[in-house]
Amino acid sequence: MRCIVLILALLISACANFSHQVKPFNLNDIPSPPISSQLFIDSSNVVVEIDDVFRLTKAQQEDFFKYYNRPKNRNLYPNKRIYQYLTEKMKGFNFYSDTLTANEAISQKLGNCLSLAIVTHSLATLVGVEVQYELVETPPIYQREGEFVLSSQHVQTLLFEPEPGDFYGQAPLWRGFIRVDYYPAQGTETLRKVSTKEFYAMFYRNKAAEAMTKADYEVAFQYLRKALELIKNDNQAINMMAIIHERKGHSEKAEELYLYALEYGRKDEQFELLFNYHLFLESQGRHSEALEIQRKIAYQQNKNPYKWVNLGDSAFAHKDYSSALGFYRKALKLADYLHEPYAGIAKAQYQLGNVKGALRNFKKAIDKSHDDSIKKLYFLKYNLLKKRVSS
């Protein structure tokens, strides 16, 4: 299932000097993130409590139990009955982008993948089926919402069979399970398990992301605070929290939040933090420090093509055309269907003296663009460049 679980700012960010040494720490001993609630209007009444996220109505529970207890299903393991019930319920389901509670998703027959995972969790809880979640690597989904980019992570739900009895006094080494994946894709690779707390935090991060696209930063703050109550060093939640602090005019506090995440967050999931750090330094005119972070980012792995396009644009603006060309090519390798990488490569090649290459890539940018105004702009640049070659 694909879920919008983090939101990444393209125009704003915050961080500070990254030269500090990261020391090992005990998760229980780390401080709480330095958020500033005084900046935000109290909108806590709009936040859905976790029990209400998974609560089904009496009628919904009765409908499930009616299916679950059918005579023909009684020889099936409970996890299989849940899977078949979900399969039946998903017929005609509208995969709407918003994150809904279990009750809302069933009654309205719509919701994104996280909404359906919440429904799965609710049903499993009713009949005592053990559930686990896995974060898996698949081609991610990216979409622009104004100045924000929403990116997706892919999480699978595992519904386990009942635990069998001991065999010769020893617990079994393996239990059967059903993997519930609403958008299965070939070539997926399990990255790590997702704890129940992190699964809950995903709901709150999603709700915060949806609020941020509407510039409702007070509501976003309340949802992010709930996420951080569950996992105080959650990189994605802190990333968004820093963004909304900067939006409220508190850059110093945003900087503190990014420093906190870089020190205490997961070290294998810090691309967005470094990316926002780079943007923040650029916005502050601290170009030499930004260049240091740009070099660190170049060695990172990230599948968001827009990130590399933005880094290319930043390098180009500071006349570092070779680095810009490298970033644009990274974007192209990830998404050759986008027009932005081709246009970036073209303008970098022109500055580096490769006029024929620039013409060739402007032509490709024209072919890939579906926006008439952008096509006209590329045509103009292409024709001007062609005239210079001919003269």
Among all chains, which residue has been given the structure tokens 């990130």? 307
pLDDT for 59 beyond 50: yes
Lowest mean pLDDT among 181-185, 227-231, 266-270, 318-322: 181-185
Task: Say yes or no: 220 and 338 in one domain.
Answer: no
> Of 202, 198, 204, whose CA–CA distance to 226 is shortest?
204
Q: Percentage of the chain surpassing pLDDT 90?
A: 38
Bigger pLDDT: 147 or 367?
A: 367
Mean pLDDT of 183-188: 55
| Residue 94 domain-assigned (yes or no) | yes
pLDDT, tens only, 124-146? 999 999 999 988 765 555 555 56
Give the pLDDT score at 8.
39
Give the pLDDT score at 360.
94
Rounded-to-integer distance, Cα 329 and Cα 331, Å = 5
Give the pLDDT score at 149.
60
Flag whether the pTM goes above 0.75: no
Rounded-to-integer distance, Cα 364 and Cα 178, Å = 45
Task: Say yes or no: 100 and 245 in one domain.
Answer: yes
Task: Say yes or no: 166 and 283 in one domain.
Answer: no
How many Cβ atoms sit within 10 Å of the Cβ of residue 26? Answer: 6
* Domain range enclosing 369: 271-385
Among all chains, which residue has been given the structure tokens 């009496």? 58
Q: What does pLDDT average to over the chain?
A: 82
Greatest distance between any 2 Cα atoms in the chain:
88
pLDDT for 215 beyond 60: yes
How many Cβ atoms sit within 10 Å of the Cβ of residue 59? Answer: 10
Mean pLDDT of 78-103: 86
Task: Say yes or no: 281 and 198 in one domain.
Answer: no
| Residue 255 domain-assigned (yes or no) | no
Rounded-to-integer distance, Cα 214 and Cα 5, Å = 16
Task: Say yes or no: 62 and 123 in one domain.
Answer: yes
Q: CATH number of the domain at 326, please.
A: 1.25.40.10
Looking at the DSSP bridge assignments, the partners of residue 170 are 167
Rounded-to-integer distance, Cα 116 and Cα 122, Å = 10
Give the pLDDT score at 19.
34
pLDDT, tens only, 2-49? 343 444 333 332 222 333 334 445 667 788 888 887 778 787 788 999
Strand, coil or helix: 77: coil
Task: Say yes or no: 124 and 44 in one domain.
Answer: yes
Task: Say yes or no: 157 and 193 in one domain.
Answer: yes
pLDDT for 371 beyond 70: yes
Contacts 24+ apart (CB under 8 A), 192-196: 192/134, 192/135, 193/132, 193/133, 193/134, 193/135, 194/132, 194/133, 194/134, 194/135, 194/155, 195/133, 196/133
Query: Which pLDDT band, with edges at 50, 70 and 90, does 95 fall under?
Result: low
Instruction: Write phi, then psi, for 327 (nearest 5 degrees).
Output: -65, -45
